[in-house]
Amino acid sequence: MRTLWLLLAAPLAAQQKEVIVVTGTYEPVPLEEADRPVRSEPVRGPQTLISNSPTDFLNRDSSVDLRQRGSHNIQTDVSIRGSTFGQTLVLIDGMRMNDVQSGHHNLDLPLAMESIESVEILKGSGSTLYGSDAVGGVIHFITRPPEASEFRVRTGIGNFGVNQQRVSGAYVRGALSQQLAATRDFSTGFIPNRDYRNLALTSGTQFKGTSVLLGHSDKPFGAEQYYGNFNSWERTKTWFATARQRIGERTTVSTAFRRHTDLFVLFRDRPQVFTNRHAAKSWQASFRRWEDLGHGMRLHYGAEGLHDTIASTNLGNHSRARAAAYAALDARALRRYSFSVGVREELLGSADSQVSPTAAVGAWITGNLKLRASLSRAFRLPTFTDLYYRDPANQGSADLRPERAWSYEGGLDWNAGGRLRGSVTVFQRRERDGIDYVRRSPTEIWRATNFQSIRFTGVEASAVARVRGKHLLDLSYTGLTGFQNQLAGIFSRYTFNYASSLGVASWQTALGGDVVLRARLGAVQRFARDPYAVLDIYAARTRGRWHPFVHLTNLSDSVYQEIFGVRMPGRAAVAGVEVKVW
C-alpha cells in the first residue's frame, strides 16, 4: 500500500505533491519508484488538529496492528504483518528507538507531535538497512525544520478527566532554524488505576548541513491489568539526542544517544512487595555515502556502531556492543525498470555475526501498472528482558538464540492518473528461533523459549480514491495466517495474538474549504478471538487564527481488548482550540 494524499486547510482541489520516501531505500526517491511497499503519512499542518497522538497516523494502514494498553499512546505495542512487538523497528530520523530492556517501550517517543513532519511505514524486512528488529517492518518518524517563524498554543478537555495542552514556537532566519515544542496530556482514567500523565518536550536546530534534535518524555500511569490481575503502577522516562552532519552531497555522518528508565510497581498500594527499576542506555553512530556509477546505477555503502547497557534491580547489569557494514547497488533504466541488491553484516561479538541480504525489482508493464517483487533476510536480538527477567509468573532464558526470518513478497500497483490508486501484495515470512513466552498449562509459569519454525502468509489490498477534489476515500485490508508446527499442547503469550483479518476504511474531506473532517472505521478479527469494530471521527476548523477542534473516539462504544486481558476505553470525546498567536 503506497500512497500519500496531503489534505490542506484550503479546498482539497490543490494539486497533489510529489512524495519523497526515505524508508526502505538508501536515498530519498519518489514514492512510486520504491520497489518495497511503503506508506507515508503527513503529520504537520491540519493533520495535527485532527489527531490525538503520533499513533493516530499508524492505524490507517491495515497491515499495522496497534496493540495498546491505553489511549493516547500511554503504552503501545506495534505489529506489522503479524510480527511480535519486538519485531518492528522504530526510528527517529534514521536512528534506532527500540529499547534493549523490552519492546513494550519502543513507542515511548520523546517527541512533541508538532515537531514531526511525517511517518513512513515500511512493510516487510528492513534488516539490510537498519539491522536488528526490522523483521515485520519499520516505523520511521521524520522531523523537518520549520518553514516560517510562528508561535501556537492549544488546549483541550474531555471525559475521563482528559486535559491537554500543547505549545510550539519556531524561528527561521536564513539558513538557521529553531523549533521548540511541548505537549502535556493527562487523564484521571476511564476505570480505577488507569490514570496517566504524558509529557513530551522537543528541540530541533538546523544550520546549513548540521541538524541537532533533543527530546524528552515522562509518562507515569496506572497499569491496571497491564501485566496480569494486579493494581500495578509504572513510570517511564526517555531522553534522546541526535546530531547529523551532511558532508557535501554524498556523505552523511550521524550520532545518537538514548536513555530510558522504567520504574515498575506490581501493587500500587504496596510498593514494598515488588518494585523494579531499570535504566537502559544506547549509543549509535553511522556513516553513509553513495557513489554515482553512471548508466542509472549508484553504489551505496556505510558503517554503523551500537552499544547498549542496562542497570536493573531485576535484570542485573549487562552490556553489549556491535558493529555493522553494508553495501548496495541500485539500478534504474528508462524510467520503467528498477533493481536493487544489498547485503549487511552485523558483528555481535564473540565471533558471532548476522548477514542480512536483500534484493528487489520493479517494472512498469504499462503506463498505469507496476509489478514488483522482493526477498530479504532479517534478524532480532533478544532483549535483556527475554534473557534475564524473573518474577513469580515469568522466567527469561540466558540461552536464547537470535530470531531469524526470510521474507518473500510480490505485488501489483495501479495508478489511474492520480485520482484512483490500488495495490495488491502477497507475502510470506518464515521465521526460525522465534522468541516467545510459553507454558504447557495454566498452572505453569511463562518461560522465554525459541520456537523452531513459524510461518506467516498473507495478502494486502488497498484502494485510494479522490472524489470531486474534496473527498479522499482510503480502503485497505490485510488477511494473515500463521502456522506453528510445535504449538500442540503449548500456550503462546504474544506470537498468536496477531490479527488474522484487519480492515480499515478512512474518509477525509473539506467542508466549505474551512473545516477538515476525518472518519476512520477499523474492524479486527484476532486469532481465536471475537471480532470487534471501532469508529472514530475528528473535525477541526483550519482557517484564521482560531482553530476549534473535536475528537470523538470509539463512537460505537465497543468493548474490546487489543492485548488479552487489558480493557480499552469506551466512547470518549475531546474538544478544544488551537490559537495561532504569531
From first to last of its 582 residues, the chain has per-residue pLDDT tens of 333 333 333 333 333 345 777 887 777 777 777 888 889 888 888 888 888 888 889 999 999 999 998 888 899 999 999 999 999 999 999 999 999 999 999 999 999 988 999 999 999 999 999 999 999 999 999 998 888 999 999 999 999 999 999 999 999 999 999 999 999 999 999 999 999 999 999 999 999 999 999 999 999 999 998 888 889 999 999 999 999 999 998 999 999 999 999 999 999 999 999 999 999 999 999 999 999 999 889 999 999 999 999 999 999 999 999 999 999 999 988 778 999 999 999 998 766 899 999 999 999 998 889 999 999 999 999 999 999 998 888 899 999 999 999 999 999 999 887 788 999 999 999 999 999 998 888 888 889 999 878 899 999 999 999 887 788 999 999 999 987 655 566 788 888 889 999 999 999 998 877 899 999 999 999 988 899 999 999 999 988 899 999 999 999 999 999 988 899 999 999 999 999 988
Residue with cell 478527566: 161
Residue with cell 474549504: 513
Question: If 0-12 CB within 10 Å is exposed, 13-18 middle and 19+ buried, where does residue 397 land?
Answer: middle
Phi, psi of 504 (to 5 degrees): -135, 130
End-to-end CA distance of the chain: 38
State the amino acid at position 524 in one-letter form.
V
Residue 111, CA atoms < 13 Å, CB-side half-sphere: 28
Q: Are 419 and 407 in contact (CB under 8 A)?
A: no
Domain boundaries, the chain: 20-580
Whole-angstrom Cα distance, residue 495 to residue 437? 9
Give kind and range of the element (H or E) at residue 167. strand 162-173
Cβ neighbour number for residue 332 with a 10 Å cutoff: 17
58 Cβ contact partners less than 8 Å away, ≥ 6 residues apart: 64, 66, 78, 119, 121, 139
Coil/strand/helix, residue 558:
coil
Whole-angstrom Cα distance, residue 533 to residue 519? 13
All three cell numbers of 257, joined, read 544517544
Long-range contacts of 178-184 (CB under 8 A, 24+ apart): 178/203, 178/204, 178/205, 179/114, 179/115, 179/145, 179/146, 179/203, 179/204, 179/205, 181/112, 181/113, 181/114, 181/115, 182/112, 183/112, 183/113, 183/114
Q: Domain 20-580 maps to which CATH number in 1.10.3720.10, 2.60.40.10, 3.40.50.300, 2.40.170.20?
A: 2.40.170.20
Phi, psi of 75 (to 5 degrees): -150, 120
Provide the H-helix boundaries in 131-170.
Answer: none
244 Cβ contact partners less than 8 Å away, ≥ 6 residues apart: 93, 210, 211, 212, 252, 253, 254
Q: Are 366 and 416 in contact (CB under 8 A)?
A: no
**Strand 446-467 and strand 394-395: pairing?**
parallel
Whole-angstrom Cα distance, residue 134 to residue 128? 9
Q: What is the pLDDT of residues 513-539, one digit of tens each?
A: 789 999 999 999 998 889 999 999 999
